[in-house]
Amino acid sequence: MGMDSYLQFITVLIIFIAVLGLTLYATRWLANYQKGTSSCRNIEIVDTCKISANKYIQIVRMGDRYVAIGVSGDQITNLGDVSPESLVMNDEQQESLNFKDIFDKIKGEKKSSNDK
């Protein structure tokens, strides 16, 4: 009876790991698919500032023109053009943080706080 329950446990564990692997693969495939279908070459959100729960001010680049817009609920309002010289741009590319990077950062912070 003991060996049978171990085999059942190992079988369930293997199935669980396989389901997690398939979920990870499907999620990454879906993210790459959506990224490919929604790519815009001439429109880019440069910056977003949250004003309240559902109200934002965004700076959008359309071609070589920068426009400030107000976004709230189902409404978008043009706030006017913004001169590119007045914007503070990041020269380095934005890094997309994945779960592993965030987890490693948190793990590092916990280790340093435990060392104190």
pLDDT greater than 80 at residue 95: no
Is the overall model pTM greater than 0.85, yes or no?
no
Task: Supply the mean pLDDT for the chain.
Answer: 83
Residue pointed to by tokens 């990454």: 28
% of the chain residues with pLDDT over 90: 42
- Six-digit token pair at 74? 């189902």
Total residues belonging to the chain: 116
Q: Give phi and psi for 98, each to the nearest 5.
A: -105, 175
Domain ranges of the chain: 1-35, 40-84
The string of pLDDT tens digits covering residues 49-91 is 999 989 999 999 998 899 999 999 889 999 999 988 888 876 5
Higher per-residue confidence, 113 vs 79: 79
